[in-house]
Chains A and B, each alone.
Chain A
Amino acid sequence: MSESTLPGALVTNAENDVMDVLGADVAVPQPQRFKEGVKIVLRFLVVFGIAMVLWELVKFIGGSPWRFSTADGALFNLEWFPPFEWKIASDLNMPHLWDIFGALIQPAQRNGPPLVNVLAQAAVVTMTAALAGFLIGTAVGLFLGTVFAHSALLERSLVPYVVASQTIPILAIAPMVVVWLRAGWWSVALLAAYLCFFPVTINTLRGLRSPDPRAIELMNSYAASTWATLWKVRYPSALPYIFTALKIAATTAVVGAIIGELPSGIREGLGGAIMNFNQYYAITPHKLWAVIIFTAVVGILFFITVTLVERVMTRNMRKLEG
């Protein structure tokens, strides 16, 4: 097998490690896999903790003056004036972490539910559209990739348009979709799908062409149908490529859904929340930061879901002669 035809040749090192863990699960007993999972979570938390400390450290050295006091300053009144004054570290650009997390538990509007509840609802709205978009985009991508893999003519004549579709900003497409489908859940999902299908198409095409040519000869010698070759050799060989694309598509779908909400005029999702808090950034920047945390969490959730599905589906995949 030449290097370029190995399944997973496109897969980065980090993902190879994941693959190794998967392949090993034939031999590795369950408890060790659990320990592995705990390790991954711990590693994430440590890095997250370091990032938080660094954030505050920057503010400590070059941020706006720190003030801790009771409302009237009677009980205690602590102040710290950082030695430098960096604009990027000001309270406007980098709010204190306690302000950001504090914003989550305070009411979003006077006498309303806390921001975290409002954002959780918004996240559900956005996630539903993103999930629908992801599924549609994946289906379209798999279909196009499969068609292109089997027809050089269609590949040569249509792939340029697929590429061109990705150079058009989604904001230019959005009005058409919104007018066509009416502003709503479906238009958002479709815009997310529009961003998703591209990586899936390209990687599916590449993955379906990845098997060893001799594997295809072997299938020919069994007089296997194109269909049988597709299901028994090409799709399994393409899985590492497809999952790489799905991970890209999963995060893209979330971004696509958020952007799609803007021209659709949907206020209930995270896109609406971003628009809303954008307007008040000068007064309450920490609220926008709270939304940023929420969108990141949604993206990570999507990504993790795809990774878990990949783990299950590529359980026994390992490079030969590796």
Chain B
Amino acid sequence: MSVVTIQAVNKIFGKAPNQTVALQDIQLEIEQGEFISLIGPSGCGKSTLLRIIGDLITPTNGTVLVNGKPAEKARLDRDYGIVFQAPVLFDWRSVEKNVQLPLEIMGKSSQERVARANQMLELVELNGFQKHYPYQLSGGMQQRVSIARALSFHPQLLLMDEPFGALDEITRERLNAELLNIWSHTKTTIVFVTHSIPEAVFLSTRVVVMSARPGRITQVIPIDLAQPRGMETREQPRFYELVTQVREALRGSEGIK
């Protein structure tokens, strides 16, 4: 069953004559357990598409179904976890309290909250940092807390908006590997926005290439690299072929306008 079905979605910002067509005629099916990357030049509407899937904004027209339900219903059912580029941690809450926040809102018992927070912090390799406060952590660690928080309530769908965009290359590659590890453990479907080609190829089962003005999907490239992937994956010839293929698709998409 598809987790996400996007049909004929358009998104127009502003009113005539100052309209911007952010997304035009988007069609996309995402299957259970997939890792989908949205890649494209800035202004191609990839983050907009992610927000539409998460019902943080509504499309001008078209339908978005998540688990067969309208996106809004899915949001109210807490089917999504979201991770932004900035960690958006609450600085007055300790690490564990940050991770517990969604569980508090969902009315879970304090026992369950503590147990799940510990489990998630284990998963993102931050065990022992429960009582720390966000300002005491590095940027990479803060982002891992943010991922733990998004996963704490076991959402079926994880939406990530350039989560590692603000991190240095070394931290980024390490977190890429960690994220794949989390993905294979949790079987969560992930939609991932990025503008890094190697990152998209390394992580994804499919890469969705988008073009700007108007934002549309120009190509969907399946990534057939073997699972599980590790540091050595990046050195395989096939990895470079796919990176080149995505790069050319991106160039081609720019040619359209």
Residues of A within 8 A of B (CB): 1, 7, 23, 26, 212, 214-215, 217-224, 228, 232-233, 236, 239, 314, 316-322
Contact = CB atoms under 8 A, between A and B. Distances in A.
A321 B142 CA distance: 10
Contacts of A222: 78, 101-102, 105-106, 153
A2 B20 CA distance: 24
Tell me whether chain B's interface is mostly helix, strand or loop, or mixed.
loop
A219 B105 contact: yes
Contact of A233 (B78, B82, B90, B106): B90
Contact of B91 (A219, A224, A317): A317
A93 to B, nearest CB: 49
A316 B92 CA distance: 5
Interface string B41-56: 0000000000100111
24 contacts: A1-B86, A212-B86, A214-B86, A215-B90, A217-B82, A217-B84, A221-B54, A221-B56, A221-B81, A222-B78, A222-B101, A222-B105, A223-B75, A223-B78, A232-B90, A232-B101, A236-B90, A236-B92, A239-B92, A317-B92, A318-B134, A318-B135, A319-B91, A320-B135
B92 A320 contact: no
Contacts of B75: 220-221, 223
Contacts of B51: 217
Interface of B: 51, 54-56, 75-78, 80-82, 84, 86-94, 101-102, 104-106, 133-136, 139, 142, 153
Given A220-B56, A223-B75, A223-B76, A320 B84 contact: no
A238 to B, nearest CB: 11
A224 B153 CA distance: 13
A25 to B, nearest CB: 11
B104 A217 contact: no
B139 A321 contact: yes
A228 B90 CA distance: 14
Given A222-B102, A223-B78, 16 more contacts: A1-B86, A212-B88, A217-B84, A218-B82, A218-B88, A221-B82, A222-B78, A222-B101, A228-B105, A232-B105, A236-B90, A317-B91, A318-B91, A318-B133, A320-B91, A321-B139
A221 B101 CA distance: 12
Counting chain B CB atoms within 10 Å of each CB, the highest count among A1, A222, A319 belongs to A222
A316 B86 contact: no
Nearest to B72: A223
Nearest to B131: A26
Contact of A316 (B76, B84, B91): B91
User: What 3 A-B pairs are tightest by C-beta distance, nearest first?
Assistant: A318-B135, A222-B102, A221-B82
Nearest to A7: B91
Contact of A320 (B89, B94, B104, B106): B89
Contacts of A314: 92
A132 B116 CA distance: 45
A232 B87 contact: no
A217 B102 CA distance: 13
A160 B167 CA distance: 45
A316 B135 CA distance: 10
B86 A23 contact: no
B82 A320 contact: no
A318 to B, nearest CB: 4
A26 B84 CA distance: 28
B135 A224 contact: no
A26 B132 CA distance: 9
Contacts of B139: 321
Contacts of A7: 91
A318 B101 CA distance: 18
Contacts of B101: 222, 232
A221 B153 CA distance: 12
Contacts of B142: 320-321
Nearest to B107: A228
